Chains A and B, each alone.
Chain A
Amino acid sequence: MDWTALWLSFRLAGLTVLVLVPLAVLAGRWLAFGSFRGRGVVEALVALPLVLPPTVFGYYLLVAFGAASPLGQVWDAVFGRSLVFTFEGLLIASLLFNIPFAVQPIQRAFEAIPHNLREAAPLSGLSPWQSFLRVELPLAWPGVLTAAVLAFAHTLGEFGIVLMVGGAIPGETRTVAISIYDSVQAFDDGAAARMAALLLAISLIAIALVFSLSRRAGRRFGGRS
């Protein structure tokens, strides 16, 4: 078992969730309730990572992060480190490829809030901020948790983009998914099997969580007539 890789994967997934989910709440609410031109374009961009081959996505990230790119140069000037083949670069890549997994469930959850409930909040004397905290967010909460679980699980499993942007530097960019691949390449079938079983278990738990959360939300909204 490659504990270093496992710990790195958990750190990467945890940080991704912590940074991405609050931003996804803002973006999801905006997409659900905002009225603006070009919504279709924004929604398509949000969904793009779902259909883009990981190696293609990874390639463009590599180009964008590289020492020749403006972003790479600024990063180097500020932090004195490269963005490619580092944990920071991997984290930024992870934030980007997880956008659809985080934004879409949250957007759907906000959209599912009946309009009259959003109207009832100010009529109960709640300010816009109180309406958000006490009515909208609690009602959208299953979607927020779903987003967190999906982004976490998806980060653990991502392979192509990680390999393109991060490579496989132990303790820096070698995640558990890469480690499984390396173990197989090195004919260490035992290590590969143990790590694969662990990821399988985590994925099962994640999907069970998502399902039970959406059922709970359904019960609350379903009501009796």
Chain B
Amino acid sequence: MTGLEVRIAQDGPIPLDAAFSCGPGETLALVGPSGSGKSTILRSIAGTYQPASGRIVAGGDIWFDAAAGVAVKPHLRRAGLVFQDYALFPHMTAVGNLTVSMGHVPKARRREMAARLLDMVHLTDLENRYPDELSGGQQQRVAVARALAREPDVLLLDEPFSAVDRATRQRLYREISELRQSLEIPVVLVTHDMDEAVMLADRMAVLHRGAVLQTGAPEELTNRPATPQIARLVGLGNVFEGRIEGHDAAAGHTVLSWRGQMLEVALRRDLVVGTVVDWVVPEGFVVLHRRGRPSLGERENPVRGVITSLLFQGQTAQVVMTPEVDPERQFRFSLPAHSARRNGLAQGEEVTVSLIAGGVHVMG
């Protein structure tokens, strides 16, 4: 079993410039805002969209090669696609939706194989229901089973969790991540939800206007984005400018000036002193100082500011503060809701946070 190799490009009508691979058993998430070309890339793999140039190889077969004039018809590519709104055939039962996708299987074996797939997605008792008699989550499971019924060389998931409620989504996340461990094919997941990508994917590719900007492990992209643009696309808000002031190899850090305030960050000897850089700190590396009870470790990159907004989202509090050193900008962090209450956080209150040196990422 071999993986998926994709390289596609075109200037218009939808600009595309993407090259990535996905190995057997690997899950690659294509993330980006709506209109970033994620779905078009998925359809190029499936064959219902044909880009102007490029090459797509899956399971050792060439599906598309513009230079050689090869474009295998979609029904002859072994690609399973789960649609955003599932696109189940409304005139067929759950089991009918599966068996119709088994043209490659001898007729006598189809029922048995369908039963096995429905069992795998926990839908055994509902096989004779029509799609309009199934809940959103059940429809999604039928859609996944239908995509697998083709015994695909590639499984493509197009925002498969966006049409269900939150509770169902959490359950489906668990099921999909169990399921993908038993799959030995490449899985490509398209999503605009960063948390979803981090949770489900082995690797992520960040897309903007059809172009892949950076590919890497989820923690790599969400902690160490290559550019401020990627930082914003992966949902990091704390992007600021700074100037390299010096390196302290012995202590293992580089000193960065943020409008005069010195910050210690992970050592980056490749950056020449005096260089102006962009830096970012993910929210997970921002620690609130306990008010009125200063403790050790709080000398680490302290940043003072005034809270401009405090929003409770379930068990989490989202804080926006105006940093003293850069009052034109906003600094965001989050913390457990109980911790925000205990510390008496409120709009207009002054707070101090520490930026953990190892988490401050200098771009460039």
Chain A residues with a Cβ under 8 A of chain B: 114, 116-117, 119-128, 130-131, 134-135, 138-139, 219-225
Are A223 and B89 closer than 8 Å at their CB atoms?
Answer: no
By beta carbon, the residue of chain A nearest B89 is: A135
Across the A-B interface, the 4 shortest Cβ-Cβ residue pairs: A124-B101, A116-B87, A122-B74, A122-B75
B90 touches which of A131, A134, A139 (Cβ 8 Å): A139
Given the known inter-chain contacts A114-B87, A116-B85, please indicate yes or no for A123 contacting B132, CB distance below 8 A.
Answer: no
Are B87 and A220 closer than 8 Å at their CB atoms?
Answer: no
Are A221 and B90 closer than 8 Å at their CB atoms?
Answer: yes
A-B contact pairs, 18 of them (CB 8 A): A114-B87, A116-B85, A117-B90, A120-B89, A122-B73, A123-B74, A123-B75, A123-B80, A123-B147, A124-B75, A124-B149, A124-B150, A130-B103, A131-B75, A134-B100, A220-B90, A220-B132, A225-B136
Q: Does B131 contact A (CB under 8 A)?
A: yes
Are A125 and B85 closer than 8 Å at their CB atoms?
Answer: no
Which B residues are in CB contact (< 8 Å) with A221?
90
Q: Does B243 contact A (CB under 8 A)?
A: no
Which B residues are in CB contact (< 8 Å) with A123?
46, 48, 74-75, 79-81, 147, 150
Given the known inter-chain contacts A116-B83, A116-B85, A117-B89, please indicate yes or no for A126 contacting B75, CB distance below 8 A.
Answer: yes
By beta carbon, the residue of chain B nearest A221 is: B90
Q: Does B91 contact A (CB under 8 A)?
A: yes
> Which residues of chain B (50-106) have a CB below 8 Å from chain A?
73-75, 78-81, 83-85, 87-91, 100-104
Are A222 and B104 closer than 8 Å at their CB atoms?
Answer: no
Are A124 and B46 closer than 8 Å at their CB atoms?
Answer: no
Which A residues are in CB contact (< 8 Å) with B87?
114, 116-117, 119-120
Per-residue CB proximity of B134-170 to A under 8 Å, as 1/0? Answer: 1110000000001101100000000000000000000
Besides A135-B89, A139-B91, 14 more A-B contacts (Cβ < 8 Å) are: A116-B84, A117-B90, A119-B83, A122-B75, A123-B147, A124-B75, A124-B101, A124-B146, A125-B150, A126-B75, A138-B91, A220-B91, A223-B90, A225-B136
Are A125 and B101 closer than 8 Å at their CB atoms?
Answer: yes
By beta carbon, the residue of chain B nearest A222 is: B132
Are A120 and B83 closer than 8 Å at their CB atoms?
Answer: yes
Which B residues are in CB contact (< 8 Å) with A128?
75
Q: Does B47 contact A (CB under 8 A)?
A: yes
By beta carbon, the residue of chain A nearest B131 is: A223
The complex places the Cα of A69 from the Cα of B80 at a distance, in Å, of 58
Are B150 and A219 closer than 8 Å at their CB atoms?
Answer: no
The complex places the Cα of A120 from the Cα of B147 at a distance, in Å, of 10
